[in-house]
Chains A and B, each alone.
Chain A
Amino acid sequence: MRKTVLRKPKGFNDVYKHKPGAEKDRTHYCPGCGHGILHKLIAEAMEDLDIVDKTILISPVGCSVFAYYYFDAGHFQAAHGRAPAIATATSRANPDKVVISYQGDGDLAAIGGNNIIQAANRGENIAVFFVNNAIYGMTGGQMAPTTLEGQVTTTTPYGRNVDTDGYPMKMCEVISQLTAPTYVERVSLHDAPHIRKTRNAVRKALLNAKERKGFQFVEVLSTCPSGWKMDPVKSMEWVKEKMLGMYPLGVYRDKGEEAKVITRPVPILEPGTVWEKLGISAEADVDFPRGDVPDEYRKMSIRVAGFGGQGIMVTGQALASVALEYGYNVSWLPSYGPEMRGGTANCSVNIQDGTIGAAEAVKPTMLLAMNRPSLEKFEKTIVAGGTLIYNSTLIDIEPERTDIKVFAVPITGIADELGNTRVQSLVNVGAYAAITGMFNVDHVIELLPKLFKGKSQTIIDLNAKAVKAGFDYVKENF
């Protein structure tokens, strides 16, 4: 005669050491609650599939908040609804592990509704066990998204009214609309034959998880005698009579043999290769030798301003990038926040030795005005003795200030003559180099491939011409 030995499956801890109090050999669940049955089916499957030592379980908020007392696994206790997000991260950190997200209906379908859908949609390598008992158990029997029409709970004391409370959420149906999930099935715990089917579903989900076959979702119709205020036997009958009609059992998705193994890389540190992979050279930075820069141009606070699309930001970044190669401290600040309105653009560039204070050129030592509104707006802000470069192609008024140096440069015209208005930025840089003596034109041209990384040689050559043209114009005319 076959001998049956009754023992706890190895997926459970021998002693529930995390459980407070003296009773460290039994669960905290109420008599007749479905969690105990489902826990046992999972623990058995963990033993039989040999995954006890590679399982990470996420406990939710709800009655199964203490699932971590029972399973012999690595554990996270999650914030309400967030188990799939935590499961995502721990699965990405440990791609070869079996990650279980164990959730109730309030947790999964209400507060965590988006998290479960998005984890499913990403095809995370996780197995989700979703306990649907049509009520919030832990908090004392409030309405869940899965509460049936007419069902009385503490927050639907007159019965769930679908006109005001919405309809019961059918999560298998929702999840199975997505492309990524591998396996989606709804099962029930209301009698022995259905518990056997649940057992099979649990095994299938965990086997798929072990084989890293993506997102597994098993919805388990379960009893809550305390919340429903029924005895355990009546609860089983209630599932059968009331819940099965609303929540049809069966397989909603099974990719079967088609299910792909999802491989996600193990995140790596490899500090020795980081610089190389990011294109950072270990060689020391060599500064260009500085030319003769007059005192007045040794601490520059520059405002570049014009229409959006006139290369304002690029001009500023190019000035800062080139100055950096001479060993100056530089800063570049885009017009940002409220100033972004109205299609005008400006940026501030500081170039100096020593620490740069305020980043915005509120009182610039130089204004580079590319259009008339910019000249009108910022001319008055230039410090006395400062410098104005303005785009005489587009600006048809004369500057008013007499206490500043003025350079009228037909920037747009020079760029147009080169055949491309977009090279205005580097015309600006050339003009700046000629006026300040801060940059050598050859150095600027040498830097162009770096400034225009990924751009064609044609574009780089054209910009080289632009730098020269801007430089030459200033040298020839002033």
Chain B
Amino acid sequence: MARMLMKGNYAAVYGAAMAGCTAYYGYPITPASEVAESAAALFPKLGRTFVQAESEVAAINMVYGAAGSGQRVMTGSSGPGISLKMEGISYCAGAALPCVIIDIMRGGPGLGNIGPEQSDYNQVVKGGGHGNYRCIVLAPASCQEMCDYTMLAFELADKHRIPVFVLTDGVIGQMMESVVIPEPVKELPDKSDYAVFGTPLNKNLVNSIYIDHDELEHWNNELLKKYQNIEKKEVRCEEYRMEDAEIALIGYGSVSRVLRTVVDDAREKGHKIGLFRPITLFPFPKNEIAVLPERGIKRVLTVELSTGQLVDDVNLALAGAIKSDLYFRLGGNVPSADEITEKISELYGEVM
């Protein structure tokens, strides 16, 4: 049956397999290890490549090699490993190579712990490595979405020739839910215009050097146009009970699930509260947030498992139009619905 109970980490790899990903290069790290483990289990069965790399750095450079060879390729890790991969991701961005990177966020900085956090937001959403680049960032909030958005990540990666992150936290990676496995994609895009095949007619070059200043400036401007195009076309977000809401809760990933419960609890008491959930973190749904005041939203409360990384983007979008607050938990702690409800009463008691 196509319906299976599985961890989010596994679901991502099923999504990759269905998307026609033919190579996985990775390194173990909690709480992302099951991504590598499931690739090790599934890919050989499919006649596809799995290599446990010697390091995170090697893994992302293998991804560069595979992507440059025209394969759909994936790697996965968690915060400390993602930090190590940043150089390679910058090279992939510079060479316009499509690839998919799963980040199952844990607590930081440093070794931190293996509990869930969302503190990779800045390093993943803003680029992270050196140079002017962006990656598309998808933020699943369920195991089904881990599967579906990983598939989508491959489509977007090829469509825009860009590294795409699937960014979530340990809760979504470690939890199990029912996942309906989608049909495998039948055909992959032709990449012969840039990929290196080593054949008589294909002498392509995968490269990120532009030694001439004007050429590099030109290339950066080309990349910028790509990112601007992505900002126009690829924004994804979700709303829940926002129709007549006066207070909007904003959060992504596992937090958005707790916020859903908060909204339901509040609605039962007659409070006009809704949930706004960004699904793409880059491109960020800034226009959709900017119009919230016009839609009758009087206050927003951003909830995140980081000390105010997501809220920076929310505030840029709102540009001070309405009051914006932040509530966060750290270190592996996830706020309960009641805890957030209490915060809401404390902040907005007078308007509710």
Contact = CB atoms under 8 A, between A and B. Distances in A.
Contacts of B2: 275, 280-282, 285
Contacts of B170: 336-337
A86 B261 contact: no
A393 interface: no
B47 A114 contact: no
A7 interface: no
B22 interface: yes
A337 B113 CA distance: 7
A128 B141 CA distance: 45
A74 B5 contact: no
Contacts of A118: 53-54, 58
B288 to A, nearest CB: 21
B332 A332 contact: no
Interface stretch (A52-60, A179-187, A191-199): A52-60
B46 A278 contact: yes
Nearest to B173: A336
Contacts of A321: 5
B280 interface: no
A331 B175 contact: yes
Contacts of B62: 85-86, 88-89
Nearest to B259: A357
A252 interface: no
B42 interface: yes
Contacts of A270: 46-47
Contacts of A284: 1
Interface in B193-242: 196-200, 202-209, 211-212, 215
Contacts of B331: 338
B19 to A, nearest CB: 10
Interface in A16-61: 18, 20, 53-56, 58
B23 A82 contact: no
B140 to A, nearest CB: 13
Given A86-B62, A93-B66, A338-B115, A333 B175 contact: yes
Contacts of B116: 336-337
B145 to A, nearest CB: 11
Given A53-B200, A336-B174, A271 B23 contact: no
A19 to B, nearest CB: 9
Given A20-B212, A118-B58, A331-B177, A76 B65 contact: yes
Interface stretch (B131-139, B158-166, B181-189, B316-324): B181-189
Nearest to A83: B61
Contacts, number: 248
B49 interface: yes
A97 B198 contact: yes
Nearest to A333: B175
Contacts of A320: 5, 176
B84 to A, nearest CB: 12
Contacts of A122: 51
Given A77-B207, A94-B69, A357 B184 contact: no
B211 A267 contact: no
Given A88-B62, A89-B66, A89-B69, A285 B1 contact: yes
B18 interface: yes
Interface stretch (B118-126, B292-300, B307-315, B334-342): B334-342
Contacts of A356: 142, 177, 257
A268 interface: yes
Nearest to B62: A89
B206 A65 contact: no
Contacts of A98: 198
B178 A94 contact: no
Nearest 3 CB-CB pairings of A with B: A337-B115, A89-B65, A357-B261
Given A265-B47, A333-B171, 18 more contacts: A20-B211, A73-B203, A76-B68, A85-B64, A89-B61, A93-B69, A271-B185, A278-B46, A280-B1, A284-B1, A331-B175, A337-B114, A338-B115, A338-B331, A357-B260, A358-B258, A362-B336, A362-B337
14 contacts: A85-B64, A94-B198, A97-B198, A115-B55, A267-B48, A275-B181, A278-B17, A278-B42, A280-B1, A321-B5, A336-B114, A356-B177, A357-B258, A363-B338
